A and B are shown apart, each in its own frame.
Chain A
């Protein structure tokens, strides 16, 4: 302590200019540079996260402009809500269906594009193109294709029958975004060392064994990453539900985000909407933690 004082004393005696050492100026620059991002995150990410918990303990009546503390009432309502089992089932089914179908198709496309063929760049562009087609345009044209006298109107009325509506929305969403995961898988496949394949072939392994024993373990970090992105993304799907099914028929496609939108902004159950938001956050959090735990278990690590 005294040593610091002794050193500080002559330093303070020097001119003000020497106070602004390179290191101090660097520090100041750093704080100036991060301030807009931190203030933004504070105002539009963290503060609202605190508020959403606070609001879930209140009831806000927009018209009468009353804002009353109601304690755990909204959480009791959540437990008693007869729609909740169906909403959670739809959400789970949607997410699981989306991840499984998306990852399987992405891997299939990536394996096909990874063959030594001419024109794979062309096909890559075609498979990727829906990613850049405006989300609403894509959703609307699929609504047009799947409607009762649309071009795909063999079989059931896809969007109006309880057994197919959710699957239809999954399919529309998978074709929209599978290109992203496809590109990630393609990069991962190209990173697998060729020597491993050659060695396996010399040992007499067939293509399926090579895929299962070499390719899959080596690209497992990418599988985990894409599954996290895809699961979290699936929980945010709103426009597709809103345009294609409005949550119906019944509540068969009412996923959590859509339900929270309905409660907060259509039925003006604002506090309950906040409670559903808290639930959504907890689900995202739990899934992310769970998947990072899984990473330790089964993902292959290079040393």
Chain B
């Protein structure tokens, strides 16, 4: 490849990077700009102010909201891993009556996005007295459409495992549950990782459900809380809002940079199977 072509390619890559990287950069730097400077086009704050970051916690119970999002995402992720790996394993490795029909049923579940079912589910949760609690935000992602996708992904992974390992374990007298726990699950670490990343981000980003179900400020999750940093006239307080947004984005970005290969391959893999 000639130098000219190389330079052109690098130039193209650099230019194309801008819309992907600049917004995140702008979010973080603007969050440190004092009020007077918030609309200035400078790429670097002339004086760094932590005031907006402090205000985030004054305007809303942001620590509580952060905790809400974190614990819901963790519970949903762990629950999905258990449910999906068990079902995925059974569909892939055990022959049982009704297997094909039931798996086909699971597959049709992939066609039904949660937006289609939110109206009836709202009435169901309302009847059960669970509106304005975290239950819908936990149960629907953990057992609903995104869990169906997770089951499918786990099944596709388990089906690739060689049968000899299980037969050897059989000979040693291990029962099915033990084979699943001690042989299949440890081998499934990459698939479990992919499902965990995908499920966590799905829960972390969930927006329609919290907006529909949750109305008490202390029960808000982060995506919902982020939109509430406004002044008395409903105008956005940009530096405060961007501080809160940065706090939501930065921890995930750090984990992503540390484990970028698992993230990229995992998410692409789950997207592929979806």
A binding-site residues for B, Cβ under 8 Å: 25-27, 29-31, 33-34, 36-41, 43-46, 48-49, 51-52, 54-55, 60, 62, 108-109, 112, 115-117, 123-138, 140-145, 149-151, 175, 179-181, 183-184, 187, 225, 229, 232, 235-236, 238-239, 242-243, 257, 260-261, 264-265, 270, 273-274, 277-278, 280-281, 284-285, 288
CA distance A109 to B12 in the complex (A): 10
Contact of B111 among A37, A140, A285 (CB under 8 A): A285
- Chain B residues closer than 8 Å to A136, beta-carbon distance: 205, 207, 222-223, 226-227, 245, 248
Q: Provide the residues of chain A in CB contact with B62, threshold 8 Å.
A: none
**Chain A residues closer than 8 Å to B17, beta-carbon distance:** 123, 126-127
User: How far, in angstroms, from A232 to B267 measured CA to CA in the complex?
Assistant: 17
Q: Assess whether A180 is in contact with B268, with CB atoms less than 8 Å apart.
A: yes
Q: How far is the CA of A40 from the CA of B150 in the complex (A)?
A: 12
16 new A-B contacts, CB < 8 A, other than A29-B177, A41-B148, are: A30-B99, A36-B82, A40-B144, A44-B139, A45-B117, A112-B12, A123-B17, A124-B264, A127-B17, A132-B252, A133-B253, A136-B248, A140-B242, A144-B242, A145-B23, A239-B223
B104 interface residue (CB < 8 Å to A) = no
Which chain B residues lie closer than 8 Å to A29 at the CB level? 90, 94, 175-177
Q: List 11 A-B contacts (CB under 8 A).
A: A25-B176, A27-B97, A37-B87, A51-B123, A117-B10, A126-B20, A136-B248, A143-B236, A175-B19, A184-B268, A225-B272
CB contact under 8 A between A284 and B268, given known A112-B16, A238-B207 = no
- A200 CB, min distance to chain B CBs, angstroms: 18
B151 adjacent to A37 (CB under 8 Å): yes
**0/1 per residue, B1-20, Cβ < 8 Å to A?**
10000100110110011011
Q: Which range holds the interface residue count of chain B? A: 35 or more
Cβ of B39: which chain A residues have Cβ within 8 Å of it? 149-150
Asked whether any CB of chain A lies closer than 8 Å to the CB of B212, the reply is: yes
B residues with a Cβ closer than 8 A to A are 1, 6, 9-10, 12-13, 16-17, 19-21, 23-24, 26-27, 30, 39, 41, 82-84, 86-87, 89-91, 94-97, 99, 102, 105-106, 109, 111-113, 115-124, 126, 139-140, 142-145, 147-148, 151, 175-177, 180, 201, 204-205, 207-208, 211-212, 222-223, 226-227, 236, 238, 241-242, 245-246, 248-249, 252-253, 256-257, 260, 263-265, 267-268, 271-272, 274
Q: Bound state CA distance, A55 and B120, in angstroms?
A: 7
Q: Is the interface of A mostly helix, strand, loop or mixed?
A: helix
Write the nearest CB–CB distance from B59 to chain A, whole angstroms.
Answer: 15
The complex places the Cα of A240 from the Cα of B204 at a distance, in Å, of 15
B121 touches A26 (CB 8 A): no
